[in-house]
């Protein structure tokens, strides 16, 4: 008998696949391999065809829906449609963040009010907006995960505004876990080490952060999106049934230094 959970006929929503390098795509593939019924959401129409080609490689047939997380009505419609077409929601992987590139370098306090509001809206508030919209449709023992980064716990050069957004996200995880626990819903975060994705492209000193981790982290190597995804599977399945309000670091142990 396999020690891995079987997710056959269980509906999972994965939000934040930009391309094949996305952490959300690794999560989708892992859930698919465990037999889950998948719903994949994308930010705007122009991302649809790319996602369709990726989804064609999955074992199961996925439902693809547009969902811009800055739009409450869009979020409500998305979750109503998911329930109508795919039944109760067993889990959600929220893998979404955005900050104006200009605010991800140079001096932290140079950011504008508008840049701050946008980054916090998309990268932190959206988790609560999504959980709220899914509330009527959760299965009895549902689980939600989000992706965070060490720069929300301590200063990491250039992470700047995103550090504040991740601190808000990490705190939201705790408040949501406390509120939704009595309803049987768990809420956790995975703090991933640096992974070369579209978001990471062209920002800050990404290469030096990768090599610093490789030299100093307990495991002396970087992590893969697949390693993040297998921790995601643990948290999203019954294997993680006793865990909520937690941040699990999948970063080769770098955070202990």
Q: Which of 12, 42, 137, 159 is catalytic?
A: 159
Q: Identify the residue among 31, 51, 209, 228 touching ligand N5H (CB under 6 A).
A: 209
Q: Identify the residue among 97, 119, 124, 133 touching ligand NDP (CB under 6 A).
A: 97
Beginning with the edge strand found earlier in the chain, give each strand of the sheet holding 247-250 in spatial order: 63-66, 37-42, 11-15, 89-94, 138-148, 186-192, 247-250
State yes or no: residue 137 binds ligand N5H (CB under 6 A): no
Interaction residues for ligand NDP, span 3-22 (CB under 6 A) = 16-18, 22
**Helix H or strand E segment including 220:** none
Interaction residues for ligand N5H, span 215-254 (CB under 6 A) = none
Q: Which of 12, 42, 137, 149 is catalytic?
A: 149
Interaction residues for ligand NDP, span 178-237 (CB under 6 A) = 192, 194-195, 197-200
**Helix-then-strand count for the chain, H and E:** 8, 7
> What are the tokens at 224?
């893969």
Is position 12 annotated as part of the catalytic site?
no
Q: What is the DSSP string of 97-114?
A: ----GGGGSS-GGG--HH
Taking the complex as a whole, how short is the minimal distance between the CB of residue 257 and ligand NDP, in angstroms? 17
- d(C-alpha 131, C-alpha 227), whole Å: 25
Nearer to ligand N5H, 109 or 140 (CB): 109
Residue burial 35-61, b: 16+ Cβ < 10 Å; e: rest: ebbbbbbbbeeebeeebeebbeebeee
Of the ranges 5-13, 64-72, 129-137, 172-180, which one interacts with ligand NDP (CB under 6 A)? 64-72
State yes or no: residue 145 binds ligand NDP (CB under 6 A): no
Is position 149 annotated as part of the catalytic site?
yes
State yes or no: residue 101 binds ligand N5H (CB under 6 A): yes
Taking the complex as a whole, how short is the minimal distance between the CB of residue 13 and ligand NDP, in angstroms? 12
Q: Which among 199, 176, 197 is positioned nearest to 188, based on CA atoms?
A: 176
**Helix H or strand E segment including 27:** helix 23-33
* Spatial contact of 43 and 17, defined as CB atoms under 8 Å apart: no
Residue burial 221-238, b: 16+ Cβ < 10 Å; e: rest: ebbebebbbebbbbbbbe
Taking the complex as a whole, how short is the minimal distance between the CB of residue 12 and ligand N5H, in angstroms? 21
State yes or no: residue 40 binds ligand N5H (CB under 6 A): no
- d(C-alpha 121, C-alpha 115), whole Å: 10
Which parts of this chain interact with ligand N5H (CB under 6 A)? 18, 97-101, 104, 149, 151, 156, 158-159, 162, 194, 198-200, 203-204, 206, 209
Kindly list the catalytic residues.
149, 159
Which parts of this chain interact with ligand NDP (CB under 6 A)? 16-18, 22-24, 42-43, 47, 68-70, 95-98, 122, 147-149, 192, 194-195, 197-200
């Amino acid at each position: 008998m396999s020690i891995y959970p079987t997710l056959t006929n269980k509906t999972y929503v994965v939000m934040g696949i930009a391309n094949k390098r996305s952490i959300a795509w690794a999560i989708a593939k892992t859930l698919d391999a465990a037999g889950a019924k998948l719903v994949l959401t994308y930010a705007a129409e122009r991302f649809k065809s790319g996602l369709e080609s990726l989804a064609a490689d999955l074992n199961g047939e996925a439902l693809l829906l547009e969902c811009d997380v800055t739009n409450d009505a869009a979020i409500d419609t998305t979750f109503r449609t998911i329930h109508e077409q795919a039944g109760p929601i067993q889990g959600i992987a929220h893998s979404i963040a955005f900050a104006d590139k200009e605010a991800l370098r140079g001096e932290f306090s140079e950011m504008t009010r508008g840049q701050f509001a946008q980054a916090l809206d998309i990268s932190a508030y959206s988790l609560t907006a999504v959980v709220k919209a899914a509330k009527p449709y959760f299965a009895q023992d549902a689980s939600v995960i989000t992706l965070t980064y060490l720069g929300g716990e301590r200063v990491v050069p250039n992470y700047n505004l995103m550090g504040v957004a991740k601190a808000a996200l990490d705190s939201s995880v705790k408040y949501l876990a406390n509120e939704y626990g009595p309803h049987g819903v768990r809420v956790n975060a995975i703090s991933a080490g640096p992974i070369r994705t579209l978001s990471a492209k062209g920002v800050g000193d990404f290469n030096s952060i990768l090599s610093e981790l490789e030299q100093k982290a307990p495991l002396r190597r970087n992590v893969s999106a697949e390693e993040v995804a297998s921790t995601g599977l643990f948290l999203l399945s019954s294997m993680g049934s006793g865990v909520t309000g937690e941040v699990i670091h999948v970063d080769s142990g770098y955070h202990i230094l």
